[in-house]
Amino acid sequence: MSTLISLIVSGCATGAIYALVAIGFTLLWQTSQTINFAQGEFVMLPAFFMLAGMNMGMPFWLAILVGTAISVAILGAAFKRALVDPMLRHGALPLAIATMALSIMMKEGVKEFYGAEAQPFPSLIPAIDLHFLGATISTQSLGLLAVGVAAVLALQYLLNSTSVGRQMQATAQNPNVARILGIPVERMVMYSFIINAILVSVASVLVTPLYLAKFSSGETLGLAAFIAAIVGGFNQVRGAILGGILLGITDNLAATYISTQYRSAVPLALLIAVILFRPQGLLGTAEERTV
């Protein structure tokens, strides 16, 4: 029994990582119909901004603030202005391909300037192990889970219960009508990119102590988060949490009870099953264009 609890708890912790990154996928899709295939690299990059700050002598907390500010400017505002705006008018597919190119550029850029080796990254949450019903739970994992859930709740509140959030949703559903209604469409879209940049910075601070700061750390993370977003429902922020946690737990159970060698195939099998039987995702709602 304690084995099962341990597997579920550690699966939830890993799933929370995926969820935190997947939230960005769903947010950008919900508000601007953008699929960002560089989302994994968006989580990788802020850690390097922060490491650069620490190397310049900044304390960790200041490096986090500076790194987040730079990320908001580059991964939020500049990303939207320089890449999304010119590409989105040609449709979602060219933009998706452009973000793939961006992910390669980001990886190569970090490798060029920071080297190819993994760097240790300090943890904001002290790594203390708690024992619960025979299972060992790390405070880092609990922190990740708590931040993931809090981020979803905050975003749900913002999108559904505030004027700005409703304007963002209206912008996503029909920008022309939103504009006629007097909604500042450009500003609303910009908000979603800035929120995504803040989210990836938070994810970066929490995830990098586990993943290590490395130019390639976004590869696995981005793919897993993308699968989590589809499984949970691409058009529901709360779907990201469900998809992420389901993926984390499935991976652990598969490794333990099926085979360690075939573990990486199981999440893909889950993805196929969802696409076949519930293409809008477990919590998603059917819409004209389903991802």
Q: Where are the beta strands (DSSP E) in the chain?
A: 129-132, 135-138
Helices (H), the chain: 2-32, 39-55, 60-71, 79, 85-88, 92-114, 139-161, 163-173, 175-180, 185-211, 217-232, 237-253, 265-277
CB 249 within 8 A of CB 15: yes
Q: Is 5 exposed, middle or buried, given 0-12, 13-18 or 19+ CB atoms closer than 10 A? A: middle
Residue 216 or residue 290: which is nearer to other proteins going by CB? Answer: 216
For residue 96, the minimal CB distance to other proteins (Å) is 23
Residue 3 or residue 162: which is nearer to other proteins going by CB? Answer: 3
Residue 138 or residue 171: which is nearer to other proteins going by CB? Answer: 138
Q: Which residues contact other proteins by CB under 8 A? A: 3, 6-7, 10-11, 13-14, 107, 111, 115-118, 120, 129, 136, 138, 210-212, 214-216, 219-220, 248, 251-253, 255-256, 260-261, 263-264
Residue 10 or residue 39: which is nearer to other proteins going by CB? Answer: 10
For residue 252, the minimal CB distance to other proteins (Å) is 4
The Cα 214–Cα 127 span in angstroms is 21
User: In 10 A of CB 51, how many CB atoms?
Assistant: 19
In this structure, the chain runs to a length of: 291
For residue 136, the minimal CB distance to other proteins (Å) is 5
Residue 34 or residue 204: which is nearer to other proteins going by CB? Answer: 204
For residue 173, the minimal CB distance to other proteins (Å) is 37
For residue 27, the minimal CB distance to other proteins (Å) is 24
